[in-house]
């Protein structure tokens, strides 16, 4: 009378499906986070590479003219305001202007920061015998490349010289952090190229 019903259930239960979907979601989140980190590192590597190429141009400029001045504009790019500079409008001179602009644009497009001060070419107090290049990396720290070396991932605005000056380059001299303290800035940066 009673038939034994044996059910062959080959379908997944709702719980099993939800577990699988949540695991896939978790794995995709981890992969996307790793991908974003890899992209940021690739942009930073491109900035470093661009600076090394620009350094070669500066060496050629110095060899030709005895000065680095032609390939340094001494302003942040972009500098806000009426006379804002870009790689294409910064004041450059010499035999390597087109190459310098191309490298500058390549570096600039890899900077992900929205800071006003993103990219700088120039040295203090003179661009003639010294050079300095600075850019903001993806971790919002700076890379500084100068004639004396490179500082990578430094918090330039919180370095000793700027902290003594109240945090800004415009306050450095008035805070008594003048030329005697320039060596306290990270190597390769504006005050210690």
For residues 183-188, average pLDDT: 66
| Strand ranges of the sheet holding 76-77, from the earlier edge strand across to the other edge | 76-77, 119-121, 132-136, 142-146, 149-154
- Predicted confidence (pLDDT) at residue 170 exceeds the cutoff of 50: no
Which value, to the nearest 10 degrees, does the dihedral of the CA atoms of residues 68, 73, 78, 82 take? Answer: 180
Strands (E), the chain: 76-77, 119-121, 132-136, 142-146, 149-154
Q: Which helix (H) or strand (E) holds 15?
A: helix 14-65
The pLDDT tens digits of the residues spanning 71-87 come to 887 778 875 666 667 88
CA dist 191 and 6 (Å) reads: 84
pLDDT (tens digit per residue) in 100-154: 999 999 998 888 877 767 888 887 666 688 888 888 888 888 888 888 888 777 7
Is the model's pLDDT at 56 over the cut of 80?
yes
Strand partners, 151: 144
According to DSSP, the β-strands at 119-121 and 142-146 are unpaired
Q: pTM of the entire structure?
A: 0.71
Question: Higher confidence at residue 31 or residue 149?
Answer: 31
**pLDDT number for residue 9:** 63
> Which of 18-27, 28-37, 171-180 tops mean pLDDT?
18-27
């Amino acid at each position: 009378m009673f038939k034994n019903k044996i059910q062959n259930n080959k379908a997944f239960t709702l719980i099993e499906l939800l577990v699988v979907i949540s695991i896939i979601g978790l794995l995709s989140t981890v992969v996307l986070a790793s991908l974003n980190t890899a992209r940021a590192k690739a942009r930073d590597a491109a900035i470093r590479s661009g600076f090394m190429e620009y350094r070669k141009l500066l060496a050629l400029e110095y060899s030709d003219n005895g000065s680095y001045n032609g390939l340094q504009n001494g302003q942040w790019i972009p500098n806000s305001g009426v006379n804002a500079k870009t790689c294409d409008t910064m004041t450059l001179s010499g035999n390597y202007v087109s190459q310098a602009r191309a490298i500058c644009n390549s570096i600039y497009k890899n900077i992900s920061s929205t800071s006003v001060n993103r990219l700088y070419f120039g040295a203090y107090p003179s661009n003639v015998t010294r050079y300095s290049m600075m850019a903001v990396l993806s971790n919002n720290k700076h890379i500084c490349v100068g004639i004396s070396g490179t500082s990578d991932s430094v918090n330039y605005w919180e370095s000793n010289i700027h902290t003594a000056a109240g945090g800004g380059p415009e306050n450095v001299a008035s805070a008594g952090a003048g030329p005697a303290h320039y060596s306290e800035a990270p190597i390769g940066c504006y005050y210690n190229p």
